[in-house]
C-alpha cells in the first residue's frame, strides 16, 4: 500500500488557494512520534510505498533521510513545492521514484498563485535534480483556479524540454472552501467559457501528437483512455484513498486521505494499534458517486469532496460536470486512438498510467 507520511505542516509559501496556516489543534506542526513505531508498522506490509508529504516535506530533510535509511520501501515518492529540493542531496534524490512538484503552468500563472519568482526557482531546482541523477517520473502537479488557461498552462508544461516533465496532472481549486467558489468571479462562466473548451482543445492537441508516435504525458487523459481501451472497471477512487493509500498524520493517526486529519470520517486507525491488512476499504465514497453512470471510469473523484459537500450537492454536481465533459470528449476521440493502435503508431502500454498507486489522482 501507499503511505503518505506527513512530516510537517509547514510549507514556506502562501499560495492563493491555500494560505498555509498550520494549526496545532488539528495535528502537531511536526512529526512527533518515534520513527521505530512507523518502522514496525510498515514492516508488516509486504509491498509498502512511501510518499513524503506536508506542508512541504523538504522542510524536514532530516526526517526524509532517516526514514529512507531506516525503513525499506518498494518505492519512495515526494510531493513538494520544489523550493528546498537541493537540500535532499544527490544520493537521496537518485533513490526517489516519483517526484511530484507543484507548478501551475506558465511563469505568470505560477507566480500569480504561488508568489513572485517561484516558477524560476522551481525549474532551477528540478534541473538540479535531473543533473544529479534523478531518473524517475517527474510530475508537474498543477492547482487550477480562476486565473488558469488550462490549454495554455498544460501545453507549456508538457512542452518544456529542460527540464522535461514526464507527466502533468492538475487538481481543480474546487470544493475546499465555504462559502463556495470564493476565488472565482463566476465559476459557471469560467467552466463553460474557459475550462471545458480548453479541455477539448487540449485533447485535440494530445491526439494529434499521438499520430507522430509520441504520447504526451497528460496524466488524466492517459489514465482514463487506458481504462476505456482495456475495459477496466474502476468503481473505486483512482487515488486509492481509504483503499490502498493512507495518510499518516504527524501524531501517528492513520487517515484515509492525507489532506483532512481533522475529520472523524477520515480517521481509520493508529500506527500504535493498527495493522496494514486492517485498512483496505475502511472508508469509501457514497452517493451520488456510486450511483452515477460515470462511476466506472471516474471512481468518485475525491473522498474529501464526497464526504463534506462544502458546496452543497448542486455545487458538487457542477464540478462533476467538468469530469463528465472530460470523459465524453475522450470517448469522442477513442476511435481515432484505436486506429492508431491497430496501425502500430502507438502501443497500449504507452497509455498505461500510473504504473502503481503513486499519489497521482488522475481525475482532476
Q: For residue range 79-117, what is the model confidence (pLDDT) as tens digits?
A: 999 999 999 999 999 999 999 999 999 999 999 999 999
pLDDT(21) > 90: no
Q: Report yes or no on 235 lying in a domain.
A: yes
pLDDT for res 20 = 76
Mean pLDDT of 68-79: 98
pLDDT for res 154 = 98
Q: Report yes or no on 358 lying in a domain.
A: no
Q: Report yes or no on 139 lying in a domain.
A: yes
pLDDT for res 108 = 98
Mean pLDDT of 268-293: 96
pLDDT for res 23 = 86
Q: Report yes or no on 361 lying in a domain.
A: no
Cβ-in-10-Å burial (0-12, 13-18, 19+) of 249 comes to: buried
Residues 6+ apart with CB under 8 A from 212: none
Number of domains in the chain: 1
Helix-helix angle 150-159:196-210, to 10 degrees: 30
pLDDT for res 139 = 98
Report d(CA 352, CA 245) in Å as an integer: 19
Report d(CA 271, CA 254) in Å as an integer: 7
Pairing of strands 2-6, 75-80: unpaired
pLDDT(264) > 80: yes
Q: Report yes or no on 359 lying in a domain.
A: no
pLDDT for res 18 = 85
Q: What are phi and psi of 177, to 5 degrees?
A: -115, 155
Report yes or no: 359 and 51 within 8 Å, Cβ to Cβ. Answer: yes
pLDDT(19) > 90: no
Mean pLDDT of 249-267: 95
Q: Report yes or no on 293 lying in a domain.
A: yes
Q: Report yes or no on 82 lying in a domain.
A: yes
pLDDT > 90 in the chain, percent: 95
For the chain, give the mean pLDDT.
97
Q: What is the CATH number of the domain that holds 170?
A: 3.20.20.70
Report d(CA 111, CA 191) in Å as an integer: 22
* Segments forming the whole domain that contains residue 214: 2-351
Pairing of strands 253-255, 267-270: antiparallel
Q: Report yes or no on 344 lying in a domain.
A: yes
Amino acid at each position: 500500500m501507499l503511505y503518505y507520511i506527513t512530516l510537517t505542516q509547514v510549507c514556506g509559501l502562501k499560495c492563493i488557494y491555500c494560505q498555509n496556516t498550520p494549526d496545532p489543534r488539528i495535528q502537531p506542526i511536526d512529526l512527533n512520534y518515534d520513527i521505530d513505531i512507523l518502522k514496525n508498522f510498515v514492516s508488516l506490509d509486504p509491498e509498502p510505498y512511501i510518499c513524503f508529504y506536508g506542508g512541504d516535506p523538504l522542510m524536514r530533510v532530516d526526517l526524509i533521510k532517516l526514514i529512507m535509511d531506516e525503513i525499506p520501501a518498494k518505492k519512495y515518492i515526494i510531493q513538494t513545492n520544489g523550493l528546498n529540493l537541493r537540500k535532499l542531496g544527490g544520493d537521496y534524490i537518485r533513490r526517489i521514484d516519483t517526484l511530484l512538484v507543484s507548478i501551475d503552468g506558465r511563469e505568470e500563472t505560477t507566480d500569480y498563485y504561488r508568489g513572485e519568482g517561484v516558477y524560476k526557482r522551481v525549474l532551477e531546482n528540478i534541473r538540479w535534480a535531473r543533473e544529479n541523477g534523478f531518473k524517475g517520473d517527474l510530475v508537474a502537479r498543477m492547482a487550477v483556479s480562476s486565473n488558469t488557461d488550462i490549454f495554455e498552462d498544460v501545453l507549456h508544461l508538457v512542452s518544456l524540454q529542460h527540464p522535461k516533465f514526464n507527466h502533468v496532472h492538475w487538481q481543480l481549486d474546487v470544493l475546499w472552501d465555504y462559502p463556495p467558489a470564493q476565488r472565482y468571479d463566476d465559476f459557471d462562466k469560467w467552466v463553460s467559457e474557459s475550462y471545458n473548451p480548453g479541455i477539448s482543445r487540449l485533447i485535440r492537441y494530445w491526439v494529434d501528437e499521438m499520430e507522430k508516435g509520441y504520447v504526451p504525458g497528460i496524466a488524466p487523459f492517459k489514465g482514463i483512455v487506458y481504462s476505456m481501451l482495456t475495459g477496466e472497471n474502476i468503481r473505486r477512487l483512482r487515488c486509492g484513498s481509504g483503499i490502498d493509500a493512507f495518510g499518516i498524520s504527524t501524531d501517528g493517526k492513520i487517515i484515509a486521505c492525507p489532506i483532512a486529519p481533522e475529520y472523524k470520517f477520515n480517521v481509520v486507525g493508529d500506527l500504535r494499534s493498527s495493522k496494514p491488512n486492517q485498512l483496505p476499504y475502511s472508508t469509501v465514497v457514497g452517493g451520488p458517486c456510486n450511483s452515477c453512470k460515470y462511476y466506472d471510469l471516474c471512481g468518485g473523484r475525491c473522498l474529501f469532496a464526497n464526504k463534506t459537500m462544502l458546496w452543497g450537492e448542486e455545487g458538487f454536481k457542477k464540478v462533476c460536470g467538468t469530469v463528465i465533459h472530460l470523459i465524453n470528449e475522450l470517448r469522442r476521440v477513442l476511435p481515432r486512438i484505436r486506429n492508431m493502435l491497430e496501425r502500430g503508431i502507438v502501443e497500449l502500454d504507452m497509455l498505461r498510467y500510473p504504473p502503481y498507486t503513486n499519489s497521482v489522482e488522475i481525475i482532476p
